[in-house]
Structure 1
Amino acid sequence: MSAENVRHIQQFDAIRGIAALSVMLSHYVLIFMNSPLSNYHNISSIIGDLSYTPLGIFWAGRSAVLLFFVLSGYVLFFMINSASMNYVSFLMKRSLRLYIPYLLAVFFGVAGEYLFYHGGLPGLNPWLNQFWSAPITIRSILYHLLFVDEFNANHYDFTVWTLVQEMRISILFPAILWFMRDKKWWVPVVIFFMLSVLAMAIRMFALSGGHILSWLTLSGSLTAYIFTPYYIFAFVLGATLATQRASLQKWYNRLGIQGRTAVFSIGFFLYYYGPHFISAVGIHHLMVRDWPAIMGAAILVLVSAYDLVAIQVLTTPILIYLGKISYSLYLLHAVILLAMLHAFYGVISLPVLLLLSIGVTFLVSELAYRFVEKPAISISRRSPQWPIVKRFGKLIKSSET
């Protein structure tokens, strides 16, 4: 079984599940960083040491987010190029798929802050105590409901910034694929990489005092508009893998065991150790450290698509299940963690509380998948057949001709 032979790529679901788990664990790890309490500081030191071993990939949350973006580019290519899909139906389908579970996460975030937040948690670090510290306002809720605008995504659920960027790029992606068409595969890769570099340069200029551009780069934190062209590069790499899938599969199948091992090793090194290497040579800017991780993510997606051993591992039942609940797991783990900490910190010891939080997260994610996400998927799949969607699609098509 390969990506070429199946419409729904199960191993990609598993990768999403692993990535969602990695993001969740990365936030649990951050709880111990820069803590004023000595016992937590010791745990932080141990985690820091382990982060230089391959075990650290299990909490490499930043790289996991970039992996999500590469996978999205791959999937969006097939969605947009479906014979039955016009722009309006694509946009409706994509919006419903992302937005309905997103609304649940925002609701949980608002309700969690209202019910459980009573001030900062003593002994825990400033990173954790920044969340839910701002008052609940109608304005902040409306910003979240608008979804694609720039706003403080850390207010209620600090994971949702990625959904904002994903939806913006989804809106632009049909035009991006049109631009990629009939060009050599490397041309859009180079162009959008240079766009990513330009976006980072503009942001760094604004941060250094370029006040004219500050509205574009500083407002909204991770939902700032400048990050949208920056992250398009990851989506374009994913789409390039999809457009070149036939030749890539032939190339990969010709490799022997040593060649395939080398490809995987390069991908793993770039994905996980690439950011560490960039930091080691003295460049600590987060954006620069992303680029090797994005390229490593693309290589790992390629391996998972065509390597029989990787496919066999990734299609085991537990990883398939993890992939099934991955979106809910990603969206809800932060608000559940905050709710559990603010409700029980000081009553239950922190290690036990964190283990309980993980268990509650999986339980709630399963329920959210069954009763929110699955209906959202069903609605999104039916939406292209809605009369109003068909009508708008025809209007756009006729205006184009």
Structure 2
Amino acid sequence: MLPNDKRLYELDSLRGLAAVGIVCWHYTNMWHTTPLAGIFAPFYTYGLLLVDFFFVLSGFVLARAYWNDHRRESTARNIIERIARIYPLHFVTLISVIPIQFALQHRIGPLDYLFKYNNAYHFTLNVFLLNNSGLEQGFSFNTPAWSISTEMLVNLFFLLAITFRRRTAIIFMVSAWVLSAYAIAKHGLITNYFTFGINPGIHRTVAGFFIGVALYNAMHSAIDTPRTHARIHDVICITAILAVLVFMAHRSATSITDAAVSFILFPTIIASAIRGGIIRRVLRTPMLVYLGEISYSIYLTHFVLLVATLLLASFITTPLPYNVGIFLIGFLALTVFFSALAHRFIEIPGKRFVMRISTARNLVSEVRDAS
């Protein structure tokens, strides 16, 4: 979407670190253990909040990529580009998890927290990225993909909104955000309550995403300007990160504190990382940047690996040492390894394939129109 010299690599790294935090959250919820708690306690306790960091970051990145005179009116291409980015890996991980869960169900028996809504209806919803649209009865198949569903719906709304004049687009976005902010103020950021008949996951995504869009609009002119007061931004970024980690570790969650972290601290981390000095250089180290590049694969493959590990454990008489730090490190390393493979052999080729098909169809249409 953006040339490499314009890419904000520090944001890639932040996304990658957040993805690892979410892996830890699902790890502890799957095995009910907390190895290396001194390091990973914030992620074990409230790592699910990092999904909201993804939403804020996504709003920022997509506003930068699409809300400009060069891209905003290319609606069809923009939508296809988002589908090409999201769908191939989503579909492959969906198909991959089914035989594992089927075998596991026959090995262990009914596990409602994994299998309750794994049926033809919810498979169809997953295929069309409607698995968290409000049509579902609960989580199904590759559970973390719930946020991919809400992301896609909000992306479509955003890409359609920016085709209007700027003032009109802002009215649409602010209206959507106000409705979602009301729902969050009433029921909390992370809840099961529908408000205005809308899935709470959609409210959560709308709220975070358009905070990210607003952040980009507030600081877009400063992104490419010389960095001043970099040390101050470093201090702000580190302080905000520490505040988030402390909050997550103690899990003093209320509708107000959750929202404050998502709508104040997350944007602060993003803005100060971009304008920082030392923190920006650290986040631009190749290893962290690569972790960010494969973060989408980490997010979608780690649950498949968790379920596969559970299946493996069902064949072994000796319990696996889930509570041992080296086992956790090994699982994280395995997740990164398989995510790197998925990124290289599924995510990137899948995106190219979808874009190539859409380009070929456009050429055929142009030839037909000209004949």
Q: In structure 2, do the counterparts of structure 1 residues 180 and 240 end up closer, same or farther at CA, with 3 Å as the change threshold? A: farther
Match of 1:134 in 2: 116
1:111 and 2:99 equivalent?
yes
Say whether the 8 Å CA contact 1:144–1:153 is kept in structure 2.
no
Say whether the 8 Å CA contact 1:196–1:232 is kept in structure 2.
yes
CA RMSD of aligned residues (A): 3.9
SS in 2 for 1:350: coil
**Counterpart of 1:299 in structure 2: which amino acid?**
T
**Counterpart of 1:173 in structure 2: which amino acid?**
F
Q: In structure 2, do the counterparts of structure 1 residues 56 and 182 end up closer, same or farther at CA, with 3 Å as the change threshold? A: farther
1:9-20 aligned within 5 A: 9-20=8-19
SS in 1 for 2:115: coil
With normalisation by structure 1, the TM-score equals: 0.73
Q: Distance in 1 between matches of 2:114 and 2:203?
A: 29
Match of 1:341 in 2: 310
Q: Distance in 2 between matches of 1:55 and 1:354?
A: 10
Q: In structure 2, do the counterparts of structure 1 residues 99 and 201 end up closer, same or farther at CA, with 3 Å as the change threshold? A: same
Q: Distance in 1 between matches of 2:20 and 2:345?
A: 21
Q: Which moved more, 1:242-251 or 1:152-161?
A: 242-251
1:124-273 aligned within 5 A: 129-134=111-116, 136-148=118-130, 149=133, 150-152=135-137, 154-177=139-162, 181-182=166-167, 194-200=178-184, 216=197, 224=199, 226-249=200-223, 253-255=227-229, 257=231, 259-269=232-242, 271-273=244-246
Q: Distance in 2 between matches of 1:93 and 1:215?
A: 30
Match of 1:378 in 2: 352
CA deviation after TM superposition for structure 1 residue 267, in Å:
2.4
Q: Distance in 2 between matches of 1:95 and 1:153?
A: 23
Say whether the 8 Å CA contact 1:70–1:298 is kept in structure 2.
yes
Q: Deviations over 1:68-116 (max 9, x none)?
A: 1111111211332351561111111101210111001111221211223
With normalisation by structure 2, the TM-score equals: 0.78
1:38-117 aligned within 5 A: 47=37, 50=38, 56-57=41-42, 59=44, 60-81=46-67, 83-84=70-71, 86-117=74-105
Q: In structure 2, do the counterparts of structure 1 residues 67 and 215 end up closer, same or farther at CA, with 3 Å as the change threshold? A: closer
Q: Distance in 2 between matches of 1:312 and 1:95?
A: 32
Which ranges in structure 2 are unaligned for 5 or more consecutive residues? Answer: none
Q: Distance in 1 between matches of 2:235 and 2:364?
A: 48
**Counterpart of 2:245 in structure 1: which amino acid?**
Y
Question: Once the two structures are aligned, what percentage of the paired residues are identical?
Answer: 20
CA deviation after TM superposition for structure 1 residue 350, in Å:
2.6
Q: In structure 2, do the counterparts of structure 1 residues 388 and 140 end up closer, same or farther at CA, with 3 Å as the change threshold? A: same
CA deviation after TM superposition for structure 1 residue 379, in Å:
3.4
Q: Which moved more, 1:381-390 or 1:70-79?
A: 381-390
Q: Deviations over 1:43-79 (max 9, x none)?
A: 58x84xx4xxx85445552232111111111121133
Match of 1:26 in 2: 25
Match of 1:398 in 2: none
Say whether the 8 Å CA contact 1:63–1:290 is kept in structure 2.
no
Q: Which moved more, 1:72-81 or 1:267-276?
A: 267-276
Q: Deviations over 1:6-49 (max 9, x none)?
A: 3322222211111111100111123454xxxxxx5xx58x84xx
**Counterpart of 2:305 in structure 1: which amino acid?**
I
- Of residues 294, 298, 308, the one that matches 2:263 is 294
Say whether the 8 Å CA contact 1:96–1:380 is kept in structure 2.
yes
Q: In structure 2, do the counterparts of structure 1 residues 354 and 249 end up closer, same or farther at CA, with 3 Å as the change threshold? A: closer
Q: In structure 2, do the counterparts of structure 1 residues 142 and 262 end up closer, same or farther at CA, with 3 Å as the change threshold? A: same
The number of residue pairs the alignment matches comes to 353
Say whether the 8 Å CA contact 2:10–2:289 is kept in structure 1.
yes
Which ranges in structure 1 are unaligned for 5 or more consecutive residues? Answer: 34-39, 218-223, 396-401
Q: Which moved more, 1:259-268 or 1:325-334?
A: 259-268
